[in-house]
Amino acid sequence: MCRVWVLCLTGVTLAALLSASPVQAGSNSAKFLLPQRTISAPAGFAGLCAKYRWVCAPSARSNISEDATLRAAKAINNRVNRQVRQIEDQVQYGREELWTLPTARGGDCEDLVLLKKKLLIEHGIPSENLLIATVLDRKLNSHAVLILRTAGGDLVLDSLTNKIMPWKRTGHTFLKLQNPDALNQWHAVLAGGVIKDRPTASR
């Protein structure tokens, strides 16, 4: 993905996403990305749960502390961003929307997200707290990021920056998010960026 938008992504127009009924705002609305409705998964996600079981399988209970989680997230986000060369699917594979782990040549934004999720799971962070999200970046390019769900809110691991920050500070328009209760399913979230004035629900 990771390319300029025209009007649609994975068969769903932005206009159709925006037609979803907004839900009531609440005190935690700035902290968490919250579901508005079930939606089709991004095209590149098809078959990914079978290819990489850890993408969709819930993790065993973990006792990792929040501080240790944040330290691991910062280190892994930095390392992956630094070490993996970014290369588009069309250049590497001759096709669009192939979500897979990076190769020796590199990977695109979804590939970096997958690698970060895998490494963080190996550090003991539950898979259901590591959610893939599709967004529009500040330049309205299609993009993917990894959401780290913490007790204090949703933080973003992004291939565009080494800084980990709350989702609302990224400037991204968040469109779709893995369902933490069923990781093979996706929700429309519709928050931030070009739709930042639309109300969102309390958690």
Tell me what pLDDT residue 36 has. Answer: 94
> 115 falls in which pLDDT band (50, 70, 90)?
very high
pTM of the model: 0.87
Residue 4 confidence (pLDDT) above 70: no
How many other CB atoms sit within 10 Å of the CB of residue 37? 12
HSE (side-chain half, CA atoms, 13 Å) at 40: 11
CATH 2.40.128 fits 8-195, yes or no: no
Predicted local distance difference test score (pLDDT) of residue 1:
62
More confident residue, 156 or 4: 156
Is pLDDT of 39 > 70?
yes
> For residue 60, what pLDDT is reported?
80
C-alpha to C-alpha distance for 151 and 12, rounded to whole angstroms: 31
**Res 30: pLDDT:** 83
